Structure 1
Amino acid sequence: MTLITETALARLESEGRLFNPVFKGAMPGAGLFGFRGELALKFAPRLADEARPPEVLAEQLMMVAKAGDTKIPFLCCYLLSFEYAKALAEVLGDALAADGHYFLFCNNIDLSKRYQMELNGATFTVLPIDEATAWNELLELLYLERNELKRLDTGAKLEAVYRTALRWKESFPKITYEEGLKLMGPVRNPNENRPV
């Protein structure tokens, strides 16, 4: 059984960046460890012994890492603002792989646009998100049927998405991070128009 300490997620765990896990454990595939939850990108200042929630998070996060590998080959998350992409790349640092598959669903990207962007030597696919979750949007992007995944447990579902994502080859217009900052719109309130 693969342990988090054997993977590139070990540093993120030791830095206390992995929050609210929906899944955190070994996956069915040999040597694979997965995480679904939130990743702290910016911590709130600590006052005495008070542990405060992070100021900035990569939400609805999915990551998979392999035992003995220093890189993270797959990541998908929701960012409240496109500008947090830089903080995400900095937090992941040398765990990013040049051939990794990284999907960012951003709240303030034009709903009709899709981009690819390089940060820290890795290519990120930048996608808009409207009402759905990053999970549902990714399944749609990868042409994965939810019904096919229904009978699987959480780890097996994540592995199925990971293996499909590794075969995904679409490309979109390339932008720089600076161009993305100019293109992004205002951050929409994700709780707007939701029933109370």
Structure 2
Amino acid sequence: MTTLAQTVLGRLETEGRLLNCVLKGPTRQAGRIGFRGDLALKFQAKMADEARPPEISCEQVIAVAHEGEPHLRFLAGFLLSFEYLQLLAEVLGDALSPDGKYFLFCDNIDISKRYQVAYGGATFYVLPIDEATVYNETLELLYLEKTELKRLDTAGKVDAIADKASSFTQSFPTLSFEEGLKLMGPVRNVYENRPV
């Protein structure tokens, strides 16, 4: 049975970046490891032994890696700011591939726009977040019916999403990272209006 360490996700696990996992292990497809959770992009400074949450994360990540392959085939996730795409690309590094399918739902881009951004040797599909969760947005983007996936467990759902994403061929207007920085809106304070 394939283990996390036999895939490109092993490095991220060793670095302590795979957090709040709903799934972190084999899927129903042989040789494939699935991950659903948060990916830490920037850690806070540690004081003594205390564990602090990351300063910046790519949240609600759905990703798959295959045994012996140096790249992630598929990743979808939520970024609070388009600007964090740079951090994500740096953290993933060699795990990115020109052939991979990478979908980023960003909180501070125009709700009516969708882009393709080439960065770090890969192409990212950058979309607004409208349905509140990456899971729902990804199903809608890939034309997957929730009812079809209802009977599947988490690993089966990740397989279904990754398989459908592999044949995604839609194209959006291209945008450079620098152009995206100029177009993005302010970063929302996620703790605003929350009781103390």
* TM-score interval (norm. to shorter): over 0.9
User: How does the TM-score come out when normalised to structure 1?
Assistant: 0.96
- Point out where structure 1 has 5 or more consecutive residues left out of the alignment: none
- With normalisation by structure 2, the TM-score equals 0.96
User: For residues 61 and 84 of structure 1, what CA distance do their matches in structure 2 show?
Assistant: 14
Q: Give the SS at the match of 2:152.
A: coil
Count of equivalent residues: 196
| Deviation, structure 1 residue 132 | 2.0
2:74 maps to what in 1? 74
Deviation at 1:39, TM superposition (A): 0.4
Cα 1:14–1:176 shift into 2, 3 Å: same
DSSP-derived class of the 1:47 partner: coil
Larger mean Cα displacement after TM superposition, 125-134 or 35-44: 125-134
Q: How does 1:74-153 map to 2 (within 5 A)?
A: 74-153=74-153
Q: Secondary structure at the match of 2:130?
A: coil
Per-residue CA deviations over 1:6-45 (Å, capped at 9, x if unaligned) read: 0000100000000000111101111000000000000000
Q: What fraction of aligned residue pairs are identical, expressed as a percent?
A: 62
1:105 maps to a residue whose letter is F
SS at match of 2:70: coil
Question: Matches of 1:116 and 1:5 in 2, distance apart?
Answer: 31
Partner-residue secondary structure (3-state), 1:5 = helix
Unaligned residue ranges in structure 2 (runs of 5+): none
Give the whole-Å Cα distance in 1 for the aligned partners of 2:142 and 2:148: 13
State how far apart, in whole Å, the 1-side matches of 2:52 and 2:96 are. 28
Whole-angstrom distance in 2 between the partners of 1:136 and 1:189: 23
CA distance in 2, matches of 1:73, 1:82: 21
Match of 1:28 in 2: 28
1:32-60 per-residue CA deviation (whole Å, 9 max, x = no partner) reads: 00000000000000112222111000000
1:131 CA displacement: 4.4
Does the Cα contact within 8 Å between 2:131 and 2:137 map onto a contact in 1?
A: no
Q: Which amino acid aligns with 1:148?
A: E
